[in-house]
Amino acid sequence: MIKPHGSDALNPLFVYDSDKHHALLEEAKNLPSIIVSSATAANAVMLGGGYFNPLTGYMNKADTLSVAENMHTASGLFWPTPVLNMLENVDAIKDAKRVALLDPNVDGNPVVAIQQIDAIEELSDDELSLVAEKVYGTTDSEHPGVAAFMAQGKFIVSGSIEVLSFSYFQTDFPDTFRTAVEIRNEIKEHGWNKIVAFQTRNPMHRAHEELCRMAMDAIEADGVLIHMLLGKLKPGDIPAPVRDAAIRKMVEVYFPPNTVMVTGYGFDMLYAGPREAVLHAVFRQNCGCTHFIIGRDHAGVGDYYGAFDAQTIFDDMPDGSLDIEIFRADHTAYSKKLNKVVMMRDVPDHTKEDFVLLSGTKVREMLGKGIAPPAEFSRPEVAKILMDYYQTL
């Protein structure tokens, strides 16, 4: 297991001490409070769980612009995307030193964290556009990540935080949500040394399943961390509970015992392509993973990114930026010639007709009609769970 990013030990910001936790909740009753965006609340959850190690809170303007421009904070810490508390209006907190951050995603808007306010700064329209262009590669408002970023407001509130809640993730996904601390502890319990991580926001089909096996075999890994995003997605993506059920069924039936950890984390998808791929690598290093699978169009959306931009971005990073190693995957598909799933780059003699290839649209149409995709594409047990879901729409 490797060291966390930027420090020798993980520094989760969740307040586990019960007396201090209670005292902070009492303090929050007398503090100015703001209902933050879903992205800001998710950032608090990630800070609380140690995924954003070694950050201690939300970034200021100088760090935001520096990270956007060159993937380093003003002090030189390697970091790929700004971690922000952004607001449209700061009148309620402009004279405050501390503020209670309220969760927009839980009924009653409970306190998710208390923030020390170091500065309240405004981003100009040009600076907002610069951050969007650098982080997302576009300022197009049709891009879901850009739209969510631009909707949060122009003011950034920086400062350290003490996290008091893991939002809805711990209650809605008790068997799946795990902090980076918990994942590190579980890896130790397994006795694993080499661990490869697989990121997903979708159910896993045969190609994904085999990709995990290929990576495990190639690096001689002790185990694989299947790590699913549990936060907000764009419309049309499959809900987390359905993905969770489908992935667990696949692992239960088709992987040997004690070789896979199925877990999830509480973050809203950015759809930032290459920059988000690097952020995902930071998460997995903080979890203790030694390797991370990055395939075609990782964390992408639409046609905003090239097929392998999320891999080549790692070539441009200075040596030593991260300790985790990247397993670069090509598009995987079932070969009719070889009767197995292969990476397309490994079979240059194949033509398109030699593969079982189905578009996402075609698969959704089949599932919605109660038709299982071919067994070469999707395991029947997984297809059944997805068919049941699509027929409720």
Known catalytic residues are 201-202
Pairing between β-strand 119-122 and β-strand 86-87 as defined by DSSP bridges: unpaired
Residue 222 dihedral angles phi and psi, to the nearest 5°: -80, -25
Residue 35 dihedral angles phi and psi, to the nearest 5°: -85, 115
Give the pair of three-digit tokens for residue 109: 């808007």
| Cα gap 296→313, rounded to integer Å | 13
On the 0-12 / 13-18 / 19+ scale of CB atoms within 10 A, 115 is buried
- Rounded (5°) CA angle 275-278-281: 155
SS3 92: helix
204 close to 240: Cβ distance less than 8 angstroms: no
22 close to 69: Cβ distance less than 8 angstroms: no
| Cα gap 154→391, rounded to integer Å | 42
Q: How far is CA 261 from CA 40, 44, 50, 163, in A?
A: 28, 24, 18, 26
